[in-house]
Amino acid sequence: PRVRFFHWLARLDRCWTADRLARRGLQHPARCPLCNQALETMHHLILGCPFARQI
């Protein structure tokens, strides 16, 4: 159930990633906290982050 819920949130772009926090004017880290290579977006976390791909 938790994976299905996360998948649903990700599809709706409702996860609190850095790009979403920036749109709301909230403080956020400039880069992905896992790999420190790119802006943290849902696309990056699921498909592009080398650290997340290893897991």
Domains of the chain: total: 1
User: For residue 2, what pLDDT is reported?
Assistant: 93
Give the pLDDT score at 55.
Answer: 80
Residue-number span of the structural domain to which 41 is assigned: 2-54
What residue has token string 């949130």?
A: 9
For position 27, what pLDDT does the model report? 93
What pLDDT score does 49 carry?
92
pLDDT of residue 50: 94
- pLDDT tens for the 55 residues of the chain, in order: 999 999 999 999 899 999 899 999 999 988 999 999 999 999 998 899 999 888 8
| Share of the chain residues as helix, strand and coil, in percent rounded to the nearest 5 | 50, 0, 50
Overall size of the chain counted in residues: 55
What is the DSSP-derived secondary structure letter of residue 29? -
